[in-house]
């Protein structure tokens, strides 16, 4: 029922902004918005986890570590899998392997953005 909860907020907004949209299009936009929210949430989780594992000190020139990035993505994947496992026991929810893959992709994209920012700023 989480789709119905989010569509109660997004659907009236979409109908107000774009009154000509079909019901299928509104459903697709709500679906995409929910999946993009998962991507960004797990990207933030990965960044926070990376920071916790890396523990960078002020002005520390510590180089980027791909092994720490892999460990971070693994932790994000395990957390996403445990969240989906939990949803097996919630009546109004369903567990999906695709959601674990989307969440893990979000974590990996967050770390990739961090790596690109570090390269651009010449930190590593």
Dump pLDDT digits (tens) for 21-35: 898 998 899 889 989
Query: Please, are residues 3 and 37 in contact by the beta-carbon 8 Å criterion?
Result: no
- 106, with CB counted inside 10 A (0-12, 13-18, 19+), is buried
Query: How many distinct structural domains can be found in the chain?
Result: 1
**pLDDT of res. 123:** 78
Pick left, alpha or beta for residue 81 (phi over 0 → left; psi -120 to 50 → alpha; otherwise beta). alpha
Measure the CA–CA gap between 113 and 43, rounded to whole angstroms.
Answer: 9
Collapsing DSSP to helix, strand or coil, 21 comes out as coil
Q: How confident is the model at residue 2 (pLDDT cuts 50, 70, 90)?
A: low
Average pLDDT, the chain: 89
Question: For tokens 């523990």, what's the residue?
Answer: 55
């Amino acid at each position: 029922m989480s789709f119905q909860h989010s569509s109660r907020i997004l659907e009236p907004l979409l109908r107000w902004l774009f009154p000509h949209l079909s019901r299928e299009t509104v459903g697709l936009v709500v679906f995409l918005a929910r999946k993009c929210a998962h991507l960004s949430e797990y990207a933030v989780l990965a960044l926070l986890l990376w920071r916790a594992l890396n523990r960078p000190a002020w002005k520390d020139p510590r180089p980027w570590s791909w092994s720490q990035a892999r460990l971070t993505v693994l932790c994000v994947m395990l957390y996403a899998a445990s969240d989906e496992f939990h949803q097996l026991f919630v009546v109004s929810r369903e567990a999906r392997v695709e959601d674990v893959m989307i969440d893990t992709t979000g974590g990996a994209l967050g770390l990739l953005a961090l790596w690109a920012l570090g390269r651009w700023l010449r930190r590593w």
